[in-house]
Amino acid sequence: MQHAVHERDNIAPREIDEEKVFDKIERYVSWIDYDLTTQRRIAAQMLKAGKNRVWIDPERLADVAGAITKQDIGRLISQGVIKAKPKVRHKQCPCQVQKRAEKKRQAREALERGAEQKAQGPRRKKSWIKNVRAQRRELARLRTDKKLVPSEYARLYRMAGAGRFKDKSDLHLQISKLKESDITEAGGETGAEDNEPAKKRQRLKSDTG
Q: Is the pLDDT of residue 115 over 80?
A: no
Q: Distance of alpha carbon 31 from its chain centroid, rounded?
A: 51
Q: What local confidence, expressed as pLDDT, does residue 46 receive?
A: 92
Q: What is the pLDDT of residue 89?
A: 75
DSSP reduced 3-state for 84: strand
pLDDT band at 121 (very low <50, low <70, confident <90, very high): low
Residue 102 has pLDDT above 70, yes or no: yes
Asked if the model's pLDDT at residue 201 lies above 60, the reply is no
Give 3-state DSSP helix, strand, coil % of the chain, rounded to 5: 75, 5, 20
Instruction: Provide the pLDDT for residue 93.
Output: 75
DSSP 35: -
pLDDT average, residue stretch 56-74? 87
What is the enclosing helix (H) or strand (E) of 116? helix 94-144
Q: What number is the average pLDDT over the span 166-180?
A: 87
pLDDT at residue 204, rounded to an integer: 53
For the chain, domains (ranges, CATH) are 20-84 (1.10.1650.10), 94-190 (1.10.1200.60)
Whether residue 144 has pLDDT greater than 50: yes
DSSP letters spanning 131-150 = HHHHHHHHHHHHHHTTSS-H
Tell me the backbone φ, ψ of residue 141, rounded to 5 degrees: -65, -40
DSSP class of residue 156 equals: H
